[in-house]
Amino acid sequence: MHDLESKSVENENREKLSSLSRRRFLAASVAGAIGVALAGAALWPIGEYLAPTGGGMEEEKVTIPRSQVGVGQAHYFNFRGRPAVVLQPDPGQFIALSVVCTHLGCVIKWQQDQQFFLCPCHAGKFSKTGQVLGGPPAGPLPSYPVAAKADQLVIG
C-alpha cells in the first residue's frame, strides 16, 4: 500500500515537472519570437538605408524647385523608390544621379568641401558626374535626365 502511494506521488510530481517544463519552453519560445520580431523591426530601416530595395514607378518624374539646388550643392530626393541626388556643379548645369553605391548598394554622401561622393561602407569615391574615382565600385552611378525649366527642375 505504501509502495502504491509512493508511486502515485512520484507520478504526480513527474507530471507537474513535465507541465512546468512545457510552460517554460512555451514562454521562452514566445519571448524568443517576440525578440526576433522586434529586432527585425528595429534593424529594417537601417538595412533599407544601407541597401535600398527600390520599387517605385518607372515612368515617374520628379519636380524640384530650382532654388533648392545651389551651385556646388547637392539635393537628395526619392526617385522611383530609390534615393537620388541632383547637383549644380556649375551655374545652370544640373546633374541627377542615383546615390546607391554600385559596389554593394550603400547610400553615398556628397562631400561639399571636396566636391565628390564618398561611400560610408567601403570608402568608394565618385565624381560629381558619377564616375568612379577610387575604391571598390566597378561602375559609375546611373544618371537621370534633368530638364531645367524657369524655376523648376524636372527629373526623369
Residue ranges that bind ligand FES, judged by CB under 6 A: 101, 103-104, 106, 119, 121-122, 124, 135-137
Side by side, the strands of the sheet bearing 62-65 are 62-65, 152-155, 146-148
**Smallest gap, in angstroms, from Cβ of residue 52 to ligand FES?**
12
SS3 50: helix
Residue placing its CB nearer to ligand FES in the complex, 34 or 133: 133
Residue placing its CB nearer to ligand FES in the complex, 130 or 137: 137
Report the distance separating Cα 153 and Cα 149, nearest Å: 6
Alpha helices, H only, the chain = 2-50
SS3 66: helix
Instruction: Assess contact for 143 and 97: CB atoms under 8 A.
Output: yes
**Smallest gap, in angstroms, from Cβ of residue 141 to ligand FES?**
11
Instruction: Assess contact for 56 and 78: CB atoms under 8 A.
Output: yes
Residue placing its CB nearer to ligand FES in the complex, 86 or 107: 107
Residue placing its CB nearer to ligand FES in the complex, 132 or 148: 132
**Smallest gap, in angstroms, from Cβ of residue 122 to ligand FES?**
3
Q: Can you say whether residue 78 is alpha, beta or left, with left for phi > 0 and alpha for psi between -120 and 50 degrees?
A: beta
Residue placing its CB nearer to ligand FES in the complex, 94 or 117: 117
**Smallest gap, in angstroms, from Cβ of residue 103 to ligand FES?**
3
**Smallest gap, in angstroms, from Cβ of residue 75 to ligand FES?**
21
